[in-house]
Structure 1
């Protein structure tokens, strides 16, 4: 008589993930709205903040888990009030997405002081105010994840996007320091570097008054742009972000898209080649000596 072997034990089903609370800036369109909608679709709670955001931007089925907050991120006091309102409404915060941003196009020489400062007010200082407002909540609960939506422009400067690149470079430098400062409190930081997506960034961009001297360079750039590009749907970026926040050990940086992925490696290789070519000069510029005025 054959006795059937006992059935192998079934693997335990993973415990259902508890709903989390998101605070998303720039949530009225583009990537921000895609992030907010994706979070709502999976059952999470979302505080959607933007200058012109309304409940009509989101599915009516999710209204009980949605808090709409009109917000200008350049207003520091308003940012603190909005973050506190979201944390109070939902009983805490889990994921903070600094997505609000603007694009200013023009050669570096063409920008006025006011135009240059305006670029940094949103892309750098707006994100900084949100981080400052959210950190007390995240620190108190000993957990949280801050996502800084950067750009392909932070990989390197390009003609006519110098101020935009500078603001994103600054955001990434701030975020690297923030990641180390917040780690001891259980708070994680990830810099997300997207490639091309169909958003309203270009339709709402500001443009500096052109100078005649840059006419030839501008004409060459326009030829390159005329070849067009194939951007992706923001929903693909949202899918990647959901995977990111679900990870147990999220990275400091995440590239979104094949083009930006390849560009990041290409730029890094070229920088390393340049550093290596000038290694002798670099090393010769350092020689330890006693502090000036030290006795001896």
Structure 2
């Protein structure tokens, strides 16, 4: 059965690949982006099943209006995919206030506004699936990517709480956590702080560990997303990519080792027998 899917940030990259996969199989899709011209050809190919809306997700009022327009156009919204976002690179000391606020405004607040706008519609429908595009770096953090990870760690917390809050309304929530993929996200879509030479060594170590095989093939994610939106019982978290799975597995094993080695101190700090 065809679904109606609202997706942000799908003018290129993974979002564009997913949107095309949905349209190809007959779903109705609403793509909300800053630059609608990039979707002109796609809109001409799918005139009856694609609605393109101009949206800057940092504008709260515009987010609510876009969701309402989509609902009026197709009569329902089954799936929301919060995909709008970008990555900022910079050591913590290198970040300026404007860069920090911009990262959070898009990746956290933008996602939050669209999520808040969709909940009443899905609650009224008594069904819906909210898919938040986080990152494997929302579960682990690498040097020089701290502010990006901070934004995705926030998305993780918001969405995990949300999943419990809305479950009784028939709404499901999934966090999609891709590792790096060979898209514009890793090049022209990102931004970078002015570098300080004293962190060049840290960058060099990170670059040396950046193996070609760790970067996934973007088109390979489409089948995973189709399976996810069709699942009767979708997972709260879905890692996309072999590298991300390895990073998370290693990091959480190391965390458990550390926590267990300090368990006596932790328990004593409780203060009660």
TM-score by length of 2: 0.95
> Which one of 31, 45, 56 corresponds to residue 14 of structure 2?
31
Stretches of structure 1 lacking an aligned partner (at least 5 in a row): 1-16, 290-296
Matched, 1:189 2:176: no
Note the 1:25-174 alignment, pairs <5 A: 25-54=8-37, 55-58=39-42, 60-174=44-158
Tell me by how many angstroms 1:287 deviates. Answer: 1.9
Report which stretch shifted further, 180-189 or 235-244: 235-244
Give the conservation status (yes or no) of the 8 Å contact 2:43–2:50.
no
Partner of 2:194: 209
Report which stretch shifted further, 55-64 or 206-215: 55-64
Cα distance in structure 1, aligned partners of 2:64 and 2:43 = 27
Give the conservation status (yes or no) of the 8 Å contact 2:180–2:216.
yes
Cα distance in structure 2, aligned partners of 1:59 and 1:233 = 25
Matched, 1:198 2:182: yes
Partner of 2:270: 286
Tell me by how many angstroms 1:270 deviates. Answer: 0.9
Aligned length: 271
Matched, 1:218 2:203: yes
SS of alignment partner, residue 254 of structure 1? strand
Report which stretch shifted further, 262-271 or 89-98: 262-271
**What is the root-mean-square deviation in Å for CA atoms of aligned residues?**
1.5
Tell me by how many angstroms 1:224 deviates. Answer: 3.6
- Select the structure that is richer in helix: 2
Tell me by how many angstroms 1:152 deviates. Answer: 1.4
TM-score by length of 1: 0.88
Tell me by how many angstroms 1:267 deviates. Answer: 1.2
Q: Deviations over 1:88-122 (max 9, x none)?
A: 10001000000011111000111111110111111
Give the conservation status (yes or no) of the 8 Å contact 1:28–1:57.
no
Cα distance in structure 2, aligned partners of 1:88 and 1:108 = 44
Matched, 1:271 2:269: no
SS of alignment partner, residue 68 of structure 1? strand
Partner of 1:294: none
Tell me by how many angstroms 1:59 deviates. Answer: 6.5
SS of alignment partner, residue 185 of structure 2? coil
Tell me by how many angstroms 1:234 deviates. Answer: 2.3
Cα distance in structure 2, aligned partners of 1:57 and 1:130 = 26
Tell me by how many angstroms 1:57 deviates. Answer: 4.8
Cα distance in structure 1, aligned partners of 2:3 and 2:97 = 41
Give the conservation status (yes or no) of the 8 Å contact 2:91–2:146.
yes
Tell me by how many angstroms 1:48 deviates. Answer: 0.6
Cα distance in structure 2, aligned partners of 1:61 and 1:50 = 18
SS of alignment partner, residue 47 of structure 1? strand
SS of alignment partner, residue 84 of structure 1? helix
Q: Deviations over 1:168-208 (max 9, x none)?
A: 00000000001111111100000011122222112221111
Cα distance in structure 2, aligned partners of 1:196 and 1:61 = 30
Cα distance in structure 1, aligned partners of 2:41 and 2:26 = 17
